[in-house]
Chain A
Amino acid sequence: MERAVRLKVNGQEHRVLVPPHRTLLEVLREDLGLVGTKHGCELGECGVCTVLVDGEPALSCLVLAHEVEGHEVTTVEGLATDGQLHPVQRAFVESGALQCGYCTPAMVLVTKALLDRVPEPSGEQVREAVAGVFCRCTGYVKILEAVQAAARRLREARA
C-alpha cells in the first residue's frame, strides 16, 4: 500500500509516496535524486550504501523508507556547508584516500559518525569503524590516514 511518507533528509523535510517494500536507498536515489549514496551488493555486505540515521551509520539497502519516518537521515550531500567541504571530506581529498570514489561517501559518513562520538580514536577504533565498508581500490592505508587527519582537523577547529 503506497502511502505518503515524511522523510527528513539532510535537515530538509520531504513527502514521498512510497510503497512499504521500497528501501531507503531506492527512495534516496530514485525519488529524491540524492545519488551520492551508492548501491553495491544491496544485501548488507559491502557498506557503500551507508547513510547516517540519527547520527549513526545504517545500511540504506536494508532499511525500509517507511521505517525511518521521524528519524533524521544524513547523506553525503548533507555534509558540505555553504559550498565548503566538511573537514572529513577535505581530509579524504588531501590524504589521497580515494581512487574510484565509489566507497567514499560511505567512508566519509562512518568517519563522521566515529569522530562525533570519539574525537581521538585509536587505530583499532578507526579500523573497526571502517570495517563495514568495502574499498576495492585504496588498500585502506590512505583511508586510515585520512580518518586520523580528519580527527586532527576537527580537534583543531574545536580548540
Chain B
Amino acid sequence: MLRLPAFQLLRPATVAEATHMLAELGPQAAPLAGGTDLLPKMKRRQLQPRYLVSLRGLRELRGWSGSPEQGLVLRAGCTLAEVAAQPAVRSAYRALAEAVAVCSNPILHRMGTLGGNLCLDTRCTYYDQTEHWRQALGWCMKAPGPRTPEEVPCRVAPGGSRCWAVSAGDGAPALIALGAKVRLVGARGERVLPLEDLYRDDGIRYLDKSPDELVVEVLLPPADGLRSTYRKVRRRGSLDFAALGVAAAVRQDPDGTVTSCRLVLGGVASRPLVLEEVASLLVGQRLEQEVLERVSEAVYRAVHPMDNTDFTVLYRRRTAPVHVRRALEALAS
C-alpha cells in the first residue's frame, strides 16, 4: 500500500481559527479541503506537512449567493459537483460550468472543492512520480528530497534557476476569463484581488499569498451579456489533467462586433496564461475568418510550453491556436 506519512489533524471551527492555526504553524502546515490533490502528493512524498488543518467543518466556506444580474459569490468549500450544478453557473457563466464538467471525473467532483482547485499544486512529469522514481533520478528542484533546491537541477531546463512546473487546473483559466476575483482571509486580515493576481510565474512558489491566507470566496461580476466557453485537450475523455485548457469570454454588440474579450490558457505555463494582447486583436472586430486567422498566429507566437507534461511540446504549441480558434468559433455561432 502507498501510505500517507504521519501528521496531526487539526479541526478548527471557524475560518478565523483556521488562519490562526496556519499562521502559528507556518510552512509545516497545510489546509486540507477535499484532499484530492494534497493526499496523493503526500502519498508520493512530494509534500510532507506535519499538520493538516481541515476545512471540512467550516460552514463559512459552504454555499453560494447572488445571481447573474448582481454577480455571483461561490464559497471555496463548494464541491466541483455543486459548482457544476449551480443554476446561475450553468446559464450565465458557461466557461466555468464547462471547465468543471471536464475536471477529473464524477466521483472526484463530489470530493474536490473550488478552493482546492484554485490552489492546486503545479504539475510536472518529473515531479508527479513516486518517491522511489524521483530518488532514482536524483530528485529535482521542486522536491529536492534530502537535498536543498540549490543542489539539484530542474530536470526540464537543467541550466536554469527556476522551476517550470505547469498550472493545470481547469477552474482558474475559466474563472479568470470570466473576470472573477477572490477573497482571501488571513490571520492579519482579508483582501480581495483579481484571481489572475493570485498566481505567480514560478512552479515552486506558484501562489502569491502567505501560508495562513485561505481562499474563502470567488466573486463573479454580473454576467452582463458575457458569453464564454472552455475547451480541454487531454489523452482520455475523463480523469486526465489538461495538456491544454482554453477559456474564452466575449461580449458583443447586437451586430456581432466584439466589445470585450478575455482569453486564458491552462497547461502551458506555471500560471494561467492571460493572452491580453491577443484578445485585444478581437476588440472592435467581428468573429470572422480573417480576424481568427490573425488571432491564431498570435496565439502560436505567445505560447511556449516546456517538455514536462503529456504530449510533445510541438503538438501542444501547435494545438493551442487550433483550440483558441474553435472556442471563438463556438462563441460566434
Contacts and interface: CB of A to CB of B under 8 A. Distances in A.
Contact of B108 (A44, A64, A128, A129): A44
Contacts of A59: 36, 107-108, 111
Given A57-B107, A58-B107, A132-B106, A67 B5 contact: no
A47 B110 CA distance: 13
B105 interface: yes
B238 A21 contact: no
B111 A43 contact: no
A129 B54 contact: no
B35 A63 contact: yes
A21 B43 CA distance: 10
B105 A132 contact: yes
Interface in B263-314: none
B2 interface: yes
Contacts of B111: 58-59, 62-63
A21 B5 contact: yes
Contacts of B54: 67
Contact of A20 (B7, B40, B56, B238): B7
A62 B44 CA distance: 13
Contacts of B3: 21-23, 26
User: Chain B: interface residue count, which band?
Assistant: 20 to 34
Chain B binding surface SS class: loop
A131 B3 CA distance: 25
B192 interface: no
A52 B6 CA distance: 26
Contacts of B330: none
B40 A43 contact: yes
Interface of A: 1, 19-23, 26, 39, 41-45, 47, 50, 56-59, 62-64, 66-67, 110, 128-129, 131-133
Interface of B: 1-9, 35-36, 39-40, 43-44, 52, 54, 56, 105-108, 110-111, 237-239
17 contacts: A20-B8, A20-B9, A26-B3, A47-B105, A59-B108, A62-B36, A64-B35, A64-B39, A110-B107, A129-B106, A131-B105, A131-B237, A131-B238, A132-B106, A132-B107, A132-B238, A132-B239
Sorted from nearest, which 10 A-B pairs have the closest CB atoms? Answer: A132-B107, A20-B9, A132-B105, A21-B4, A42-B2, A43-B40, A131-B238, A57-B107, A62-B39, A21-B6
